[in-house]
Amino acid sequence: MNERDSRNQIGDLPFRVKEGFSVYEFIEQLYEAHVVERINRFLVKVTFNGKEFLAHLHDPGRLKDLIYPGNLVLIRETKGYKTKFSITAAYSNSRFVVLDSRLHNIIVSKFLPEAYEKEIKVGNSRIDFKYDNTYLEVKGCTLVENEIAYFPDAPTERGRRHLKELRELMKKGFNSILLILVMRDDAKCFLPNEKTDPKFSIEFWNSINEGLNVNIKTFKLVGNKIIYVRDIPLCKTNLT
């Protein structure tokens, strides 16, 4: 990939939440547990207090660097059809990485004006938010390698479709923003994951070239709070 000046690709949001601000606080107790095995995309067997339980995992990604036998995770009590716990975060690189994607839109709302719409039908998709003349789609990112954050960690036809819809909206005169939430604080810049999903990567750079704004925010878990850390740029070169 050629060098790119990331300054022209970063789109600001209406409200700049201050760095260090808490964007979410868990009211449930967070318990340490260990992964036994991943049963399927949404179920993980864990050990907690010497017993095995099934925990809900609200992240369909591969998460091979986070959900594997023996790794430390944080769980909290939730009500589910098959489970009484949800996996909240997993340990990696001396920190906990938040995994529950149900929290993403709650976090994003802290950066938006009060008058916004959610889940707006656009073509064959639903875009997460609309405010004023702007459509905004949210993607959660948990994969970091060599201080580079990558999305996706599994092929995503849905993600590629969202990029196409955002491009079509730009052609109609709307502003479009792709907001990437990096749910850990050890990344210095972001790249689309070309190795895992080359089609998404091509669509991503085509969208950038057509004027799509990309905003990348990093977060960390401190106690029971998710803290906004900072914005990071697109990487200027693909170092991998």
pLDDT at 3 over 70: no
Residue 228 and residue 15: Cα distance in Å, rounded?
Answer: 13
pLDDT at 9 over 60: no
Every domain of the chain and the residues it spans: 25-98, 101-231
pLDDT at 79 over 90: no
- Considering Cα of 199, then 201, then 206, then 207, what sign does the dihedral take? positive
pLDDT at 228 over 80: yes
41-66 pLDDT per residue, tens: 999 999 999 999 999 999 988 999 99
Cα torsion through 38, 43, 45, 46, rounded to 10: 110
Stated pTM of the model: 0.91
pLDDT at 11: 60
Phi/psi of residue 101, nearest 5 degrees = -75, -10
pLDDT at 6 over 50: no
Residue 152 and residue 237: Cα distance in Å, rounded?
Answer: 18
Q: Are 128 and 108 in contact (CB under 8 A)?
A: yes
Residue 216 and residue 178: Cα distance in Å, rounded?
Answer: 8
* pLDDT tier, 162 (very low <50, low <70, confident <90, very high otherwise): very high
| Residue 22, strand partner residues | 227
The CATH code of the domain at 25-98 is 2.40.50.580
CATH number of 101-231, picked from 3.40.1350.60, 3.30.230.10, 2.60.40.10, 3.30.479.10: 3.40.1350.60
pLDDT at 239 over 90: no
* pLDDT tier, 240 (very low <50, low <70, confident <90, very high otherwise): very low
Q: Are 87 and 46 in contact (CB under 8 A)?
A: yes
